[in-house]
Amino acid sequence: MMKGPFRRVAHAADNHAPRIALIALLWVALLAAPLLPLARLEAQTREQQLLRQPPTIAGEPILDPAERLQLAIANSEYPGTPGDVYRITYLRGGALVETEAAVENDYSVNLNIFGRVDATGLTFTELRQEILRIVESSIPRSLPSVSMVSVGVFQVRITGQIAQSRSVTAWGMTRLSDVVREHLTAYSSIRRVTIVSRAGEAGTYDLFRAVDLGDDSQDPYVRPGDTVQLERAERVIYLGGEVNQAGRLELAPGESVREIKQYGRGTTQNADLTRVRVTRSVGRGVRTYFVDLSDDDGDFALLDGDVVIVPSRLSQRPVVYVEGQIVAPPELEPTAPPPGVPGVPGVPGVPAVAPPGHNRVVVPIGVGDTLHGVLTQMQTGISPLADLSRAQVLRRGEPLPLAVTLEQLLYDFDPEYDIELQPFDRIVIPRDPNTPPDGEPSVLITGGVNAPGRYPVLVGMDAYTHIRLAGGFDRELNSSERYRVYDAAGNLKPDDAPIDAGDHIEVARNSFVYNFNRYFPIIATGVGFIATIVATLTLFGL
């Protein structure tokens, strides 16, 4: 039994154990928390992720003052804007007089001895003509001229369905789309954007029709004192598949199938509008509808979050099967035989796990496709171990009579001997019986080599010769050409012993740089974590 202070220390440690465990669990939770949103994001489809992105409006704000000035001078629609500065020159008593005047915040322009002029509702071109008229009438033959020196800037307030209300710097040619472009969120609507003027007059605009359909009346210039109010998007869908412009799409109330096809810039020539797929989240699950959108008067109502995919008619093309000693090209993935395909008497079907070197590929065909056409399409995928001279074409389980072998048809083509294929025909390419069988003697090479893997045994050769088959030593992993050889039973063999079937050559990963880069981050992370725990315990007085 412990006595004195040792006993008290032990009791204190027992009392603190639950608190230490709680703190450790808290740290684990804090470290794992950032990973949870990523896991949920990965579980979503690409279309669902795009639905949660803010609407995009192309373009960039014009920030350079010199560029703004040039655009204002060149554009006849540029309005007189508070902060604009004009230079006025004229002759008076034979002397050249030069003065500057600015548009004030009440839209008045002080012309000094010539009085004031109201710029409200006037473009710079109209205001310039008015100033010239006033000067000329006051001092005949004064040859007046008016030029713009700089353009004014002002702020517009944005409120509503954005992350935070804010003020945006604008100038005389800033449109509504320029104001909201960089401040939209996934729940911001661009179909109902309201501008409230300084006088309290409100106007609602559809920015989608402006930026997507080119309706400039829906993208007005903003003016000093304006407040932009963004509503919440009520119905956002994803439109994809055989449409000319796929992506996130916000629908306005009352819009029908006709508008949806228009916003997708129409459909491609391969679109099948009779079986459009609509995927909809319902409760905790997903429900799929197949809708006929070939009629513009369709009454299927789309809801917020729907994913609409227009399929291709080509996906319903008939197919043939090519199987045996082939490798699928990138555009034709290997596929298991679908249910209902006729079997072949005496010929085993493709098992769940295909034998080595055996594969099966589904090849879509069109009306008039021939055997030579399919073979040409698959030519790069035919294995070197294939025997085209014994290949067969099976139709409804029976071999078709061929005038020439598939080898002659492919490499010495004569249209007379070609045949037209029918759906579900099977082209079976066997293996050349004269090639070595699969499972030939091999050696496993792992570790610090350029191409680790299993390689054929070179009879009578040592390990160093076999390492060359694997691309040689990887100098970033192996710095001294060290390796070990184990036999099939796991026993260590001499380095210079001949290699036998089933041997394992393990090349060392002994590069200092490799091991440093591999283990240092782990050690540093562990030391940092322990230091954090110690600091936490110290903070709580444990």
Q: Does residue 462 surpass a pLDDT of 70?
A: yes
Domain assignment of residue 214, yes or no: no
Q: What gap in Å lies between CA 37 and CA 125, rounded to an integer?
A: 55
Q: Is residue 383 classed as helix, strand or coil in its secondary structure?
A: coil
Cβ count near 46 (within 10 Å) = 10
pLDDT for res 88: 95
% of the chain surpassing 70 pLDDT: 78
Buried b vs exposed e over 483-504: b needs ≥16 C-beta within 10 Å?
bebeeeeeeebeeeebbeeebb
Helices (H) and strands (E) in the chain, counts: 12, 25
Q: Domain ends where: 150, 177, 201?
A: 150
Domain assignment of residue 53, yes or no: no
Domain range for 140: 82-150
Q: Domain ends where: 122, 150, 178?
A: 150
393 and 493 in a single domain? The answer is no
Q: Does residue 73 surpass a pLDDT of 90?
A: yes
421 and 474 in a single domain? The answer is no
Q: Does residue 183 surpass a pLDDT of 60?
A: yes
Could you tell me the CATH number of the domain that includes residue 309?
Answer: 3.10.560.10
Could you tell me the CATH number of the domain that includes residue 107?
Answer: 3.30.1950.10
Q: What gap in Å lies between CA 462 and CA 440, rounded to an integer?
A: 18
425 and 322 in a single domain? The answer is yes
**What residue type is assigned to position 445 of the chain?**
I
pLDDT for res 201: 94
321 and 424 in a single domain? The answer is yes
pLDDT for res 518: 58
Tally of structural domains, the chain? 4
More confident residue, 425 or 535: 425
- Predicted confidence (pLDDT) per residue in 409-442, tens digit: 989 999 999 999 999 999 988 877 666 556 667 7
419 and 327 in a single domain? The answer is yes
323 and 269 in a single domain? The answer is no
Q: Does residue 338 surpass a pLDDT of 50?
A: no
pLDDT for res 69: 95
Cβ count near 62 (within 10 Å) = 13
- Contact present, 239 and 308 (Cβ < 8 Å): yes
265 and 293 in a single domain? The answer is yes
Least confident span in 87-91, 218-222, 316-320, 477-481: 477-481
pLDDT for res 464: 85
**What residue type is assigned to position 258 of the chain?**
R
Whole-number average pLDDT of the chain = 81
Rounded to two decimals, the pTM is 0.56
321 and 425 in a single domain? The answer is yes
Domain assignment of residue 452, yes or no: yes
Q: If you average pLDDT over residues 241-259, what whole number do you get?
A: 85
- Predicted confidence (pLDDT) per residue in 149-158, tens digit: 999 999 999 9
Token digits for 305? Answer: 């979050």
More confident residue, 51 or 31: 51
Q: What gap in Å lies between CA 262 and CA 140, rounded to an integer?
A: 60
pLDDT for res 63: 85
Q: Does residue 103 surpass a pLDDT of 80?
A: yes
pLDDT for res 200: 93
pLDDT for res 336: 45
321, containing H or E segment: strand 319-324
- Predicted confidence (pLDDT) per residue in 475-526, tens digit: 788 777 889 999 988 899 988 889 988 899 999 887 655 555 555 566 556 6
